[in-house]
Chains A and B, each alone.
Chain A
Amino acid sequence: MVALTPAEQAMLEGTQGKATQKAMELLVRYAEALGAERFVETNNVAGVPGSSPPWVKEYYAADGGDYRAVFCRFDLDADEVFDVPKMNAFSCHLQGGMDPELWREQGMDEAAFGNFKSDEGEVAGHGIQILKTCTPYLAGNVPVMGEHCAWMESSAVVFANSVIGARTNCEGRESTSAAMLAKRIPDWGFHRDEYRRGDHSVEVAVPVDSIFEWGMLGYFVGDAVQDTIPVITGDISDPSLIRHKHFGAAAASSGGVEMYHMVGITPEAPSVESAFGGAPRGERFVYDQAARRRIYETLNSVGQSEDVDYVMLGCPHYSIEQIAQAAALLEGRKVHENSALWIFTSRAVKATADANGYTDTLRKAGAMLMTDTCSAISQAIPKGTKVAALDSAKQVHYLPAMMGIEGWYGTTQECIDAACTGKWKGKLS
């Protein structure tokens, strides 16, 4: 049984209002399902509160079929509908369903856009920040080491735990929406010291020194350790934000990695012993040339045709550094008439890209810089797409399966070349 503080008991009794009471009820059910013994307080919550496609609203037609109905019935899993006040915690909205301006180009209709606008107005009205990104840490929400968070988005969760040393489980829509009101989340998993120690070793025996290589290593690691914590040592160099972003997203997709240690690189792994909290244990995996080739072939196993008609970049959402690189690679070139190039980022980063002229450079080359979403989240791809090229191991894991298309994985340069020539020429060097 989960122990409640007097303040939590009071919330459950309704002293903070109906919405917070129902939020606490859901969190208690969730804590008991986990086997958690108490809650931690959180004031940093990131989710997708109340946003829903029209069919979900229609499902709740008897309750008004609106944001309020969806938030009460779906997000809080309550059996009644009530007024929802402004959120109590610092709360952020992660990625959404379409670009706020280029939605027509994404194939959305007026009705879908109307639904999107209406949800966004409600989200803002409830005091939730419109970050609209899978990379909140690039758009105004950077937690600090030791901070208890309640975040959705597996790539952001693994970044927060591993690279920053913040503490969050991979929360879901309902738990984050409830935490926005109750400012509580079960004290389980990554909130606790003993859970943050390494389970298995991964030795890197080939040079991993570019974002492309970091992505493949991440995909290998997730496949090897599944949902446990790897301790990575060996030939991995030149860490940077975008490399960690790509690595973590890949590891969270092929397995369920929510935290990793890179010895000498990540903050809770100054040494192998500290990463494991004692002697190394578990299995030992080696990432060598054969493993690297196998991962490359796995990632490219859904690619057959070399005629690429769509290139998607920005999974996870591109940083300003990556947009600058893409703009430089496209300078003076044109996207091929048989292809399309869409690059995804957050609104905050796009504002910088606009100021730097990158958005214009991309537009002149026939590419589009889009915000809020990605092709997997919005299920929006250029009409008639059969073959996509992607520089993200995570995206190649998801998009072809979701959309029934072929997919190639390669470097950013190879992807941009494919966009400009309509041909896939990627290979493993």
Chain B
Amino acid sequence: MTEQIDKALAREYEAGFVSDVESETFEPGLDERVIRRISEMKGEPEWMLEWRLSAFREWLKMEEPDWALVDYPKIDFQAISYYSAPKSMKDKPKSLDEVDPELLRTYEKLGIPLIEQQMLAGVAVDAVFDSVSVVTTFREKLEEAGVIFCPISEAIQKYPELIKKYIGSVVPKKDNYYAALNCAVFTDGSFVYIPKGTRCPMELSTYFRINEQNTGQFERTLIVADEGSHVSYLEGCTAPQRDENQLHAAVVELVAMDNAEIKYSTVQNWYPGDEDGKGGIYNFVTKRGICHTSAKISWTQVETGSAVTWKYPSCILKGDNSVGEFYSVALTRGRQQADTGTKMIHLGKNTKSTIIAKGISAGKSNGSYRGLVRMNPGAEGARNFTQCDSLLIGDQCGAHTFPYVESRNPTAIVEHEATTSKVSDEQMFLCRQRGLDPEKAVSVIVNGFCKEVFKELPMEFAVEAGKLLEISLEGSVG
């Protein structure tokens, strides 16, 4: 079977087209002048610039982390352009009618129509194109409910007090190398604020698109769910098929106040590079949420894209009775490398966390789960359950598990389990005997393997994720 798998591992990357948009793009290079220019382009207040610059100075002193099981040539940070925006966005279009139709067509092609009438009912979208937000839909409707959903660049001007209070509060500037870089050069992203006791009336979603060559995307998302509120947020991303590697270093911060709940779902489909590992996105992302008393943060991710993924969406369970969840499917094929997992830091009493991570490795790829569960001395009665399962398709790939368990409270309970398996001949035989072709059989088996995670996704995304896996595995058996 292995041979057949190898032979047929080719797959089309459907989002690999380039949009013909005239852009204003900075010359490659990174220094304080570049940061001042980004800040100026965004019309930022002085405090924001100062914040960026202090992060930049820290970053200069830091070293690129090398502990992940990923291998890639050293990144030349001076060869990247840190800002690129369609020229048409310069005048800040007031409505969809003023937006360059080519941009709208791009999103339509990606299956994300931005015309409200055509959209999935109940999903508001912030569309980020390279370094700027193109449009944010359903804003009026959300405003009625008191929900703020807008580009973070706009929030910095309109809601400076909220931004000042929360930006960098969950992921400090010096947290890690890529986070510090993001703090210095972030361009756009989404800001969400859900007022006390409010259930956000619709799903919120941000769609990130990298288009321009030799640019990096450094977006920043901040979601604040005030006491007793509830929000479900979705994130998607794609990029054109190019031979060069492109850097994506995002920071996402979530704040769940007492009794609030944030559900954050990601379907990550950055360009993974070709079969020989040429091109593709380096996806180095820091995502972290803080839970206050009885709050809950749930991360769900389906990672199918990127050449290299370095990503650990985490929860700081600070408040008593707070809950953290991490559900992940990470699929690697070709020469992809993914080192992804989570950190659950239990500080409060009776805090609970659940980690379900499913890794599927095919081709010559390597997928690793890396996680940390820490029970601090104050985590009386806390509980964690972790299940990591890996599925290997073919004998040229790798699947790895690196869980760190640190417990300092005797009343806390941590349980970690990991298994690894392959798509068995028996399973294949059964499916084929029932009339499925081998490709469909693998996809059925893999979908079953991922079921626990898919059921956590909002419906629209679950369907998309299932399809994405199917496409990814297309031709994985001959």
The answer to whether A and B come from one shared complex is: no
